[in-house]
Amino acid sequence: MERGLDHVVHVVRDLEAAGELYDMLGFTVGTRNRHPWGTDNRIIQLPGFFVELLEIAEPDRIPPPGEASFSFGAFNRDFLADVGPGLSMLVLEGRDPAGDKAEFDAAGFGGLDLFDFEREGKRLDGTDVKVAFSLAYARDPGSPHAGFFTCQQRYPENFWSPDLQRHMNGTDGVVGVVFTAADPAAHTGFLSAFAGSEARRAVDGWYIVKTPRGDIDVMSDALFTQRFGAAAPAGPGLRLAAVRFAVGDMDRLRRRVSSSRMSVEDIEGVVVVGPKSALGATLVFEAAR
């Protein structure tokens, strides 16, 4: 089953500072939410996709991982300690968690228990709502600093908010995400199994997985730097390097980003906020197709 992009996790040390960064770039940023396992988040929504800003708020509450149990809090805590702030996880849309788990197990990329949880959320007007999720985890054994799971929304009507999807910078969708790896071809089998769609070669050192919502690119470090003018994140295996946003009005976007006084690159029609400015992430803005 093909799975579209659902969200990325951007783990940071200071959630309020990260919210201010995205706000300066012209995004509408949701209020703080609390998980029961020691992490807090704030959400930047687009239609069908979001960026989850994540902070390790209560480290003493984080449960340890087990042989078959994945600890979301422990993974992101360790990511932050090992490599610093940045894009830690890619999440795809789940419609059948048990079916996703069975596919990942059969392909040799699973072996992890399903996980269900719920929490209280808040709308922009402060109204409390219940949101709940079912997760199916996958793992690429050669990529210790990249996390993967599918997410099924149990109360999507409470989670998705048109108000949160209106952004002053004109961003109105997701184009895709970009991974880097020393040997991109070595990870195409995993990414194909995870997305339920075949990875196809673009050029040497660059493969693309098309999904129902956005592309998953995996590039060599050199190609990534050549294309986006930013350093690829270091580390073994896959690293989630960039999010590509679709923008309805690029002139409006450029004015907003310029007013933020951040260091940006304008490369072949795309605007790039690099990892030095964007807390370890590369944020790419492109004209909507």
SS3 per residue for 73-122: HHHHHHHHHHHCCEEEEEEEECCCHHHHHHHHHHHCCCCCCCEEEEEEEE
Closest CA to 8 of 138, 177, 224, 246: 177
Domain boundary among 165, 181, 201: 165
Q: Verify that 79 and 144 share a domain, yes or no.
A: yes
Residue count of the chain: 289
Residue 124: what pLDDT? 66
Q: Verify that 84 and 178 share a domain, yes or no.
A: no
Domain extent, residue 261, equals 171-287
Q: Verify that 161 and 175 share a domain, yes or no.
A: no
**pLDDT tens-digit profile of 58-115?**
999 999 999 999 999 999 999 999 999 999 999 999 999 999 999 999 999 999 999 9
Q: Is 187 helix (H, G, I), strand (E, B) or coil?
A: helix
Q: Verify that 121 and 218 share a domain, yes or no.
A: no
Domain boundary among 130, 165, 200: 165
The one-letter code for the residue type at 196 is G
Q: Verify that 161 and 177 share a domain, yes or no.
A: no
Q: Are 135 and 116 in contact (CB under 8 A)?
A: yes
pTM metric for this prediction? 0.96
Q: Verify that 86 and 186 share a domain, yes or no.
A: no
As given in the structure block, the two tokens for residue 99 are 């079916």
Q: Are 184 and 134 in contact (CB under 8 A)?
A: no
Q: Verify that 118 and 177 share a domain, yes or no.
A: no
Give the span between the Cα atoms of 144 and 139, in whole angstroms: 9
Q: Verify that 175 and 115 share a domain, yes or no.
A: no
Q: Are 242 and 219 in contact (CB under 8 A)?
A: no
Domain boundary among 116, 137, 165: 165
**pLDDT tens-digit profile of 158-181?**
999 999 999 999 999 999 999 999
Give the span between the Cα atoms of 55 and 136, in whole angstroms: 22
Q: Are 207 and 245 in contact (CB under 8 A)?
A: no
Mean pLDDT of 252-277: 90
Please determine, for residue 269, whether its predicted confidence score (pLDDT) is greater than 70: yes
Residue 224: what pLDDT? 97
Mean pLDDT of 139-166: 95
Closest CA to 240 of 168, 176, 154, 158: 176
Residue 118: what pLDDT? 84
Confidence band, pLDDT 50/70/90 cuts, at residue 119 = confident
Residue 71: what pLDDT? 97
Q: Verify that 177 and 142 share a domain, yes or no.
A: no
Q: Verify that 192 and 62 share a domain, yes or no.
A: no
Residue 127: what pLDDT? 79
Give the span between the Cα atoms of 169 and 176, in whole angstroms: 18
Q: Verify that 51 and 122 share a domain, yes or no.
A: yes
Mean residue pLDDT of the chain comes to 95
Q: Among the residues of the chain, which ranges form H helices?
A: 15-24, 72-83, 97-107, 156-159, 188-195, 221-228, 250-259
CATH code (residue 243): 3.10.180.10
Residue 263: what pLDDT? 77
Q: Verify that 149 and 183 share a domain, yes or no.
A: no
Please determine, for residue 250, whether its predicted confidence score (pLDDT) is greater than 90: yes
**pLDDT tens-digit profile of 193-245?**
999 999 999 999 999 999 999 999 999 999 999 999 999 999 899 999 999 99
